[in-house]
Structure 1
Amino acid sequence: MARIGVDVGGTNTDLVLECDKGTFFHKVPSTTQDQSIAVVEGIEQICNIAEIDKKQIEVISHGTTVATNITIEHNGAEVGFITSKGFRDILHIGRHKRPHNFSLHFDVPWQSHPLSKRRNRIAVTERIRPPTGEVEVPMNEAEVRAACAIYKKRGVKSIAIGFMFSFLNDSHEKRARDIVLEEIPDAYVSISSEVANVIREYERFSTVAMNAFVGPQSSLYLRNLEAKVKNAGIPAKLRVIQSNGGISTIDGCAKKPVGILMSGPAGGVIGALSEARLAGTENILTVDIGGTSADISTIANGQFRIKNPRDTIVSGHAVMAPMIDLETIGAGGGSIAYLDAAGGFNVGPRSAGSQPGPACYNRGGTEPTVTDAQVVLGRMDADKFLGGDLPLDPELSHKAIKEKIADPLGISVTDAALGIIKIVNNNMSLTIRSNSVARGYDPRDFSLMPFGGAGPFHGTALAELVSARDVLVPLAPGITAAMGLLGTDLQYEHTRSVITNLFSADQAAIDKVNAVSADLSAMGKVLLDSDDIPNAEQAYEVIAEIRYHGQGFELRIPMPTGGLSLENKAEVIDAFHKQHKADYGYAFDDALVELYTVRVIATAKVRHHALDPLFKGKPDDVENAFMYERETVFDDGTSHITPRLDRGKLGAGTTVDGPTIIIQHNSTTLLPPGYTAEVLDYGSMRLTKS
């Protein structure tokens, strides 16, 4: 049996192959015009490297940024939005929150980049009565057909449907969908009761509109990839990682692409957590630095966090989809350094990507990037990048930095390059602190884990800036996200709002909550059964999302085994108080507590990729790993003749003193003066101050 994990980034597509012969890693440049091209080419190449027949591949787990890129670039589908009469402008009004409370000059993303233009938002007559879900006003089907006629005239083929109180009764939304498909058979239709079946009309409408916005292109990509894999003669099941860290089918993600908006970064967090556990480390700050962006997350006590619904914002739009708690900023190897109109020195978020790429790629890029700075400082050797597969031109890096940064500022090229590195490091450190310190975590209790192709270049500098305990570099930093794709489980989530005052809940109210849990579990079972998962391997986690009466958002509390009852509801209330105190530092022990939403997570364990212990190191490992030495400039401005070591020749237990640069095919680790690296049992390296 062979399995492949494929993670597509803005610059490179990373692959890991697990088979009887061992584990193999590979990188290919991403094909921005069609990500699936690089995916299929990479699969064929890594099979050739491992010398196995591609027909042996049984599963391909894929992390994609296609939906993420659509939201960043604002180039999704033209969306028609059918809603209840009187609520046409909910998507424009939002929550009346100012993005920056004390600024007179700010952008309101949901207004400046609407998911559905006002002219395409059409209200129809219908009304569901809360709290029972009875039909108060039947839906006017003629108005829905009239809306379809307008959409056909305008060429709008992606339709979102969101009615008030449809989470109590979805009959109107489902009938409206049927009508749309009768009138526009090739339409991509999303209804809120299937995409986000929860209370709060703005968040629900925004989520279904986002699904329609990214849906057509995401679905086309996924179906195209599926066809390309099949046409290439690869009989593998194709799976896609979701924002919540679970994997799902192509069909499920094509219908609900709002669940894969953070697909790519999720794999990195899972891969990092897996290696941290092998290293005996429970607390890590993960920093996944690729060519375009840096994804940052905090893992405490060996468990990654799921974002609170109030924080699930994508490109300024509310999205009620479960996501691993991480932050993404435009800081990567391809981030462009520039001087703004006021002469300010900036790095990112614009990126050179893979085409044309940094100036040193010699593909036509002329703007200086972080990678060019690393080349100028002697940290990235032109003849060893990606194992020599991509030769670099140092003269082009020097020229770009000199002309665009050094000369205008009247400083040396070396100082300009150091400035680029310092600025991008400080940008990342601020985000690390916002994801850790601002959440109540002390970085001094955490190891910083840098990965991605560019991560280990910045590891020690970032650890110093945020006062992390030490640095933990994974076995294959540039492939860590792809490795995470082979370390996660099948997972499907279903939610439904069922507002219940837990203090006064009687048996009838509790029976209603348990009935919703059973219904949602049955929906998850249908999907697991369709994946041919035996009953014995299916698992269901029931979560109660709870708040204080009148509070804005909820916290997740596990539902007791066997369901809610009159006897155990007090335990659920007490668990909520404790969780609220852990998250916010206080609790209101005498306040009314409401169960707002029931969430059921249906899972099936999948065999996780397991690293083999590394070979034991010998006294002469460092000597045998020596390749050559060259002059290198470090962050403190000092220059040293620095040896290059082949990481593949360093066994477990070996220690290396800085200054040293440790090279491998998919990444390079910078070990400054005053630091020591120790190779651990499973191949990761712990970097500490000597």
Structure 2
Amino acid sequence: MARIGVDVGGTNTDLVLECSHGVFYHKVPTTLKNQSIGVVDGVQGICRKAGIAPSEVQMIVHGTTTATNITIEHNGSECGMITTQGFRDILHIGRHKRPYNFSLHFDVPWQSQPLVKRRNRIAVRERILPPSGEVAEPLDEQAVREACALFRKRGINSVVIGFMFAFLNDSHERRAKEIVLEEMPDAYVTLSSEVANVMREYERFSTAAMNSYVGPRTAYYLRDLDARLREAGVLSKLRIMQSNGGVSTVDACARKPIRILMSGPAGGVIGGASEGEMAGTPNIITVDIGGTSADVSTIPGGTVKIMNPRDTYVSGHPVLTPMIDLITIGAGGGSVAHIDAAGAFHVGPRSAGSEPGPACYGRGGTEPTVTDAQIVLGRLDPDMALGGDLKLDPALSFAAVETMIAKPLGMTVIEAALGIIRIVNNNMALAIRSNSVARGIDPREFSIMPFGGAGPLHGVALAEAISARDVIVPVAPGITAAVGLLKTDLQYEHTEAVIVELTKAGVAEIDRINVALESLRAAVRAELNGDGIPREQQQITVLAECRYHGQGFELRATMPDGPVTEANRATILDSFHDQHQQDYGYSYRQAEVELITLRAIGSASVPRIVIPKIAPTNGSSIDQALMFVRPTTFDDGRTLETPRYDRDKLLAGDHVPGPAILHQHNATTLVPPGYVAETLDHGNTRIRAIGA
């Protein structure tokens, strides 16, 4: 079975192919104007490399940043919203939180960059009452039609429908959608009850608005990619990585693109967890450093963490969709170094991307980047980038660093380049601490796993900055996120609000819970059936989201097998108390517990990519992998003659003492003086201080 994983980054598109001939890796420049062009080129290229026809590929799993980039660049669709009269400004008011309590000058993203402009939010008469979902006032259908006429006049074709308490009764939202499609047949319509069928109107409306904001462009990209692949002779299934670490279909992600807002980074975390398992190291902090950004995630005990819904913000807007717990900052190989108006020295978050790219690319870029600094320091060999496929001009890097940084600050070019590296490393170290130390995790018990095209150049410096145990470099660092795409399962999630005092629930309340359970299981099973998954391969898990009476947010609890009864509801209660104890250090075993939401997760396992073991060392010298020796400047300012080794020629058990640089097609690994790199069984590498 031939399968391809494709991860699109800001600079490069990474691919991995597994087939009967083995495992192959490939990297091509990202085509920013239309990412699908680069994806198709990459798929064709890796098929040629593996010696197979594109028609032999049976599945492609794709991690995309399309939806993410729309939120970052604030260039989504112009949206219209139809909402309940009196609640037009929910999206503006939000939770009335001050992001910085003591600042008089701060930006509130949901107001400065609204997903739906106020003039396009139209209130109509309708009313549904809690807690039963009773209709107190019918929907004013004529007002909905008038709103559509206004949207047509303004050229708006993406519509959000969000009514109060629609999570208890969605009949008004569904009817409003029917009317909108009658009046605007080509409209992209999102119902709040479809994308976030839970309470809390601001978060629910924001989620629906985000779906419509990124939806049209994301849906076009996914369907265009599917069509282009078929034109290129690739007839396989196309699957998309979701933010929660599972994969889904093109159609499902086109309808609910909020599921893929963190699609790209999710593959890296999954791949990192798998690499940690191969290295026998369950405690991992992954740092995925690409051309534009660095994504940080902490994986304790080999378990990928899912963020609490109250923390899932994208570009400052709350989005109630499951996401892998990670932090993204603007720090990558393309991050631009600059001096601001006050004379301060910065690196990032702005990136040169792939067009024009770093100065050394020779594509017209004149600003110095992290990549240019690495070349000035001799850590990147200009004639060895991408195995020699990408020719770099060191003179352009030197000129950019000298002109923009060194001369204005009165320092040498080497000092300026070292400053660029130190600043970007400190930015990443702060992000790592916020994802570990700030959450009660001791980095001294964890290994840093740097990957992405730029990751292994920074691994040891980051480990030193946070006192991590050691550094583990994956088999193919520049392709790790793509590898992760072939190590994850198909997955769908559905939620339903069921607000019940669980401790006091009687027969009627328990019946409500069981009816909702059956509805959720049916919805998830329908999606799995629609994807052609045999019944025996389908797995459905239901979770309860509960809280103590009076609390503001929920925690997940385990549900009993089969229907809920008065006898087995203690399973939910005990699980919630245990989770509260684990997260907060205390619990109230006698307190009232409320069930707020039921969440069904349907999954189907797929074959995982198998990374073969490499040959063990025969005791021979590592000189068989020696390529050449060149001067390299390290963080302590010393410039040393440093040997380069072909990483692909190292055998399991080989030890390479620093200073050294390990070359491979998709990444370069830096081993500073005082460290040693040990090649592990699968070709991955452990770097630790000598004597540690």
TM-score of the pair, normalised by structure 2: 0.99
Per-residue displacement from partner, 1:231-277 (whole Å, max 9, x unpaired)? 11111100000000000000000000011000000000001111111
- 1:308-387 counterparts in 2 under 5 A? 308-387=308-387
For 1:58, the equivalent position in structure 2 comes to: 58
Q: Distance in 1 between matches of 2:495 and 2:583?
A: 23
Q: Could you tell me how far 1:559 is from its partner in structure 2?
A: 1.2
1:602 counterpart SS class = strand
For 2:679, the equivalent position in structure 1 comes to: 679
Moved more, 415-424 or 572-581: 572-581
- 1:91-170 counterparts in 2 under 5 A? 91-170=91-170
Q: Could you tell me how far 1:621 is from its partner in structure 2?
A: 5.0
For 2:392, the equivalent position in structure 1 comes to: 392
CA contact (8 A) 2:558 2:571 kept: no
Per-residue displacement from partner, 1:394-444 (whole Å, max 9, x unpaired)? 111111111111101001110110010000001001110111111111111
1:596 aligns with 2:578: no
- 1:638-657 counterparts in 2 under 5 A? 638-657=638-657
CA contact (8 A) 1:405 1:416 kept: yes
CA contact (8 A) 1:498 1:596 kept: yes
Q: Distance in 2 between matches of 1:687 and 1:562?
A: 49
CA contact (8 A) 1:621 1:651 kept: no
Q: Could you tell me how far 1:98 is from its partner in structure 2?
A: 1.1
Quick one: percent identity of the two aligned structures?
64
For 2:636, the equivalent position in structure 1 comes to: 636
Q: Could you tell me how far 1:509 is from its partner in structure 2?
A: 1.3
Q: Distance in 2 between matches of 1:397 and 1:513?
A: 64
Moved more, 141-150 or 548-557: 548-557
Amino acid at match of 1:458: H
CA contact (8 A) 1:621 1:649 kept: no
Q: Distance in 2 between matches of 1:133 and 1:223?
A: 37
Q: Distance in 2 between matches of 1:593 and 1:657?
A: 58
CA contact (8 A) 1:115 1:210 kept: yes
Q: Distance in 1 between matches of 2:565 and 2:667?
A: 54
CA contact (8 A) 1:14 1:27 kept: yes
For 2:514, the equivalent position in structure 1 comes to: 514
2:342 counterpart SS class = coil
For 2:576, the equivalent position in structure 1 comes to: 576
CA contact (8 A) 2:624 2:649 kept: yes
Q: Distance in 1 between matches of 2:142 and 2:365?
A: 55
C-alpha RMSD of matched pairs (Å): 0.9
CA contact (8 A) 1:621 1:650 kept: no
Q: Distance in 2 between matches of 1:267 and 1:493?
A: 18
Q: Could you tell me how far 1:104 is from its partner in structure 2?
A: 1.8
Q: Distance in 2 between matches of 1:345 and 1:31?
A: 31
- 1:103-502 counterparts in 2 under 5 A? 103-502=103-502
1:503 counterpart SS class = helix
Moved more, 58-67 or 575-584: 575-584
1:301 counterpart SS class = helix
2:349 counterpart SS class = strand
CA contact (8 A) 2:379 2:670 kept: yes
For 2:504, the equivalent position in structure 1 comes to: 504
Q: Distance in 1 between matches of 2:273 and 2:48?
A: 30
Q: Distance in 1 between matches of 2:517 and 2:283?
A: 33
Q: Could you tell me how far 1:302 is from its partner in structure 2?
A: 1.1
- Flag structure 2 segments of 5+ consecutive residues without an equivalent: none
2:401 counterpart SS class = helix
Q: Distance in 2 between matches of 1:404 and 1:312?
A: 38
Moved more, 613-622 or 464-473: 613-622
CA contact (8 A) 2:559 2:571 kept: no
Q: Distance in 2 between matches of 1:460 and 1:103?
A: 37
CA contact (8 A) 2:290 2:454 kept: yes
For 1:564, the equivalent position in structure 2 comes to: 564
CA contact (8 A) 2:475 2:682 kept: yes
Q: Distance in 2 between matches of 1:386 and 1:314?
A: 33
Q: Distance in 1 between matches of 2:373 and 2:217?
A: 36
1:644 counterpart SS class = strand
Q: Distance in 1 between matches of 2:213 and 2:492?
A: 22
For 2:535, the equivalent position in structure 1 comes to: 535
Q: Could you tell me how far 1:514 is from its partner in structure 2?
A: 2.0
Amino acid at match of 2:396: L
1:143 counterpart SS class = helix
Greater than 4 Å deviation, 4+ residue runs: none
Amino acid at match of 1:114: P
Q: Distance in 2 between matches of 1:557 and 1:467?
A: 35
CA contact (8 A) 2:4 2:16 kept: yes
Per-residue displacement from partner, 1:347-367 (whole Å, max 9, x unpaired)? 000000000000000100000
Q: Could you tell me how far 1:581 is from its partner in structure 2?
A: 2.2
For 2:68, the equivalent position in structure 1 comes to: 68
Per-residue displacement from partner, 1:314-338 (whole Å, max 9, x unpaired)? 0000000100000100000000000
Moved more, 66-75 or 297-306: 297-306
Q: Distance in 2 between matches of 1:269 and 1:614?
A: 24
1:539 counterpart SS class = strand
TM-score of the pair, normalised by structure 1: 0.99
Q: Distance in 2 between matches of 1:582 and 1:634?
A: 43
Q: How many correspondences in the alignment?
A: 690
Q: Distance in 2 between matches of 1:637 and 1:281?
A: 32
Amino acid at match of 1:258: I
Q: Distance in 2 between matches of 1:621 and 1:545?
A: 58
Per-residue displacement from partner, 1:26-61 (whole Å, max 9, x unpaired)? 000000000000000000011111111111001000
Q: Distance in 2 between matches of 1:461 and 1:72?
A: 29
Q: Distance in 1 between matches of 2:107 and 2:26?
A: 41
Per-residue displacement from partner, 1:492-549 (whole Å, max 9, x unpaired)? 0000110111211123212211221111111011111111111110000111111112
CA contact (8 A) 2:5 2:60 kept: yes
- Flag structure 1 segments of 5+ consecutive residues without an equivalent: none
Q: Distance in 2 between matches of 1:81 and 1:574?
A: 42
